[in-house]
Amino acid sequence: MPKLIFVNLPVADLPRAKAFYEAVGARNEPMFTDESAACMVFSDTIHVMLLTHDKYRQFTSKRIADAHETSEVLIAITLESRAEVDDITEKALAGGGREPRPVEDHGWMYSRAFEDPDGHVWEPVWMDEEAAKAAMAKEPAHA
Protein backbone atom coordinates (compact mmCIF):
# COMPACT_ATOMS: atom_id res chain seq x y z
CA MET A 1 0.00 0.00 0.00
CA PRO A 2 1.44 3.43 -0.87
CA LYS A 3 2.05 5.91 1.91
CA LEU A 4 -0.73 8.47 2.24
CA ILE A 5 -0.51 12.02 3.49
CA PHE A 6 -3.35 13.68 5.39
CA VAL A 7 -2.83 17.41 5.89
CA ASN A 8 -5.04 18.54 8.78
CA LEU A 9 -6.14 22.17 8.62
CA PRO A 10 -8.26 24.09 11.12
CA VAL A 11 -11.03 26.07 9.43
CA ALA A 12 -13.44 28.70 10.74
CA ASP A 13 -16.28 27.90 8.31
CA LEU A 14 -16.38 24.26 7.20
CA PRO A 15 -18.91 24.63 4.34
CA ARG A 16 -16.97 27.61 2.91
CA ALA A 17 -13.65 25.73 3.18
CA LYS A 18 -15.14 22.61 1.59
CA ALA A 19 -16.51 24.68 -1.33
CA PHE A 20 -13.10 26.36 -1.78
CA TYR A 21 -11.23 23.05 -1.99
CA GLU A 22 -13.82 21.63 -4.40
CA ALA A 23 -13.30 24.75 -6.56
CA VAL A 24 -9.56 24.05 -6.82
CA GLY A 25 -10.13 20.44 -7.83
CA ALA A 26 -10.30 18.34 -4.66
CA ARG A 27 -13.22 15.96 -4.27
CA ASN A 28 -15.01 15.35 -1.02
CA GLU A 29 -14.83 11.87 0.48
CA PRO A 30 -18.19 11.48 2.28
CA MET A 31 -17.00 8.46 4.29
CA PHE A 32 -14.72 10.79 6.30
CA THR A 33 -16.93 13.88 6.31
CA ASP A 34 -19.44 15.08 8.88
CA GLU A 35 -20.47 18.38 10.48
CA SER A 36 -17.06 18.79 12.15
CA ALA A 37 -14.68 17.61 9.40
CA ALA A 38 -14.40 17.13 5.65
CA CYS A 39 -11.92 14.90 3.85
CA MET A 40 -10.86 16.49 0.56
CA VAL A 41 -9.00 14.23 -1.88
CA PHE A 42 -6.44 15.63 -4.31
CA SER A 43 -5.08 12.23 -5.40
CA ASP A 44 -4.89 8.63 -4.26
CA THR A 45 -2.16 9.64 -1.82
CA ILE A 46 -2.89 13.28 -0.90
CA HIS A 47 -5.84 14.14 1.35
CA VAL A 48 -6.70 17.33 3.22
CA MET A 49 -8.73 17.08 6.40
CA LEU A 50 -10.63 20.29 7.03
CA LEU A 51 -11.45 20.43 10.74
CA THR A 52 -13.62 22.88 12.62
CA HIS A 53 -11.70 24.57 15.41
CA ASP A 54 -13.53 22.46 18.02
CA LYS A 55 -12.59 19.26 16.17
CA TYR A 56 -8.97 20.41 15.64
CA ARG A 57 -8.61 21.10 19.38
CA GLN A 58 -9.28 17.40 20.04
CA PHE A 59 -5.85 16.65 18.54
CA THR A 60 -3.70 19.32 20.18
CA SER A 61 -3.50 21.38 23.34
CA LYS A 62 -1.66 24.15 21.47
CA ARG A 63 -3.32 27.39 20.45
CA ILE A 64 -4.60 27.31 16.88
CA ALA A 65 -2.56 29.67 14.74
CA ASP A 66 -4.32 32.43 12.85
CA ALA A 67 -2.84 31.71 9.42
CA HIS A 68 -3.80 35.24 8.30
CA GLU A 69 -1.33 36.59 10.87
CA THR A 70 1.21 33.81 11.44
CA SER A 71 2.92 31.42 9.06
CA GLU A 72 2.20 27.91 10.25
CA VAL A 73 3.03 25.84 7.18
CA LEU A 74 3.68 26.18 3.44
CA ILE A 75 2.14 23.30 1.53
CA ALA A 76 3.82 22.64 -1.82
CA ILE A 77 2.13 20.41 -4.37
CA THR A 78 3.68 19.39 -7.67
CA LEU A 79 1.75 19.63 -10.90
CA GLU A 80 2.39 18.37 -14.42
CA SER A 81 2.80 21.73 -16.18
CA ARG A 82 3.00 25.50 -15.86
CA ALA A 83 -0.56 25.62 -17.20
CA GLU A 84 -1.76 23.42 -14.30
CA VAL A 85 0.00 25.74 -11.82
CA ASP A 86 -1.81 28.71 -13.35
CA ASP A 87 -5.12 26.84 -13.54
CA ILE A 88 -5.28 25.80 -9.88
CA THR A 89 -4.14 29.26 -8.75
CA GLU A 90 -6.76 31.00 -10.87
CA LYS A 91 -9.43 28.65 -9.51
CA ALA A 92 -8.26 29.42 -5.97
CA LEU A 93 -8.49 33.16 -6.60
CA ALA A 94 -11.95 32.82 -8.16
CA GLY A 95 -13.02 30.70 -5.16
CA GLY A 96 -12.13 33.35 -2.60
CA GLY A 97 -8.40 32.78 -2.19
CA ARG A 98 -5.63 35.36 -2.25
CA GLU A 99 -2.25 35.34 -4.02
CA PRO A 100 0.33 36.35 -1.36
CA ARG A 101 3.41 36.64 -3.56
CA PRO A 102 4.44 37.10 -7.19
CA VAL A 103 4.98 34.23 -9.60
CA GLU A 104 8.42 32.59 -9.34
CA ASP A 105 9.82 31.52 -12.71
CA HIS A 106 13.34 30.06 -12.79
CA GLY A 107 12.93 28.52 -16.23
CA TRP A 108 13.30 24.97 -14.92
CA MET A 109 10.86 25.62 -12.04
CA TYR A 110 7.62 27.60 -12.03
CA SER A 111 5.51 28.28 -8.97
CA ARG A 112 2.76 30.44 -7.62
CA ALA A 113 1.10 30.60 -4.23
CA PHE A 114 -2.41 31.03 -2.92
CA GLU A 115 -4.03 31.30 0.48
CA ASP A 116 -7.31 29.57 1.21
CA PRO A 117 -10.03 31.56 3.04
CA ASP A 118 -8.44 30.63 6.39
CA GLY A 119 -4.99 31.85 5.32
CA HIS A 120 -3.33 28.44 4.78
CA VAL A 121 -0.69 28.83 2.05
CA TRP A 122 -0.47 26.43 -0.88
CA GLU A 123 2.38 26.53 -3.39
CA PRO A 124 1.59 24.74 -6.66
CA VAL A 125 4.84 24.07 -8.52
CA TRP A 126 6.00 22.60 -11.82
CA MET A 127 9.60 21.51 -12.27
CA ASP A 128 11.62 20.07 -15.13
CA GLU A 129 13.65 17.58 -13.09
CA GLU A 130 16.48 17.18 -15.61
CA ALA A 131 16.89 20.93 -16.02
CA ALA A 132 16.74 21.31 -12.23
CA LYS A 133 19.56 18.78 -11.78
CA ALA A 134 21.66 20.63 -14.36
CA ALA A 135 20.97 24.00 -12.69
CA MET A 136 21.81 22.63 -9.24
CA ALA A 137 25.03 21.07 -10.53
CA LYS A 138 26.19 24.58 -11.54
CA GLU A 139 25.40 26.07 -8.11
CA PRO A 140 28.13 26.04 -5.46
CA ALA A 141 27.46 23.69 -2.53
CA HIS A 142 25.88 25.30 0.51
CA ALA A 143 27.36 24.59 3.91
Indicate the pTM of the whole model: 0.87
All domains of the chain, ordered by start, with CATH?
1-64 (3.10.180.10), 68-143 (3.10.180.10)
Tell me the C-alpha distance between 110 and 131, whole Å. 12
pLDDT tens, 69-127?
A: 999 899 999 999 999 999 999 999 999 999 999 999 999 999 999 999 999 999 999 99
pLDDT tens, 15-72?
A: 999 999 999 999 999 999 999 999 999 999 999 999 999 999 999 999 999 999 999 8
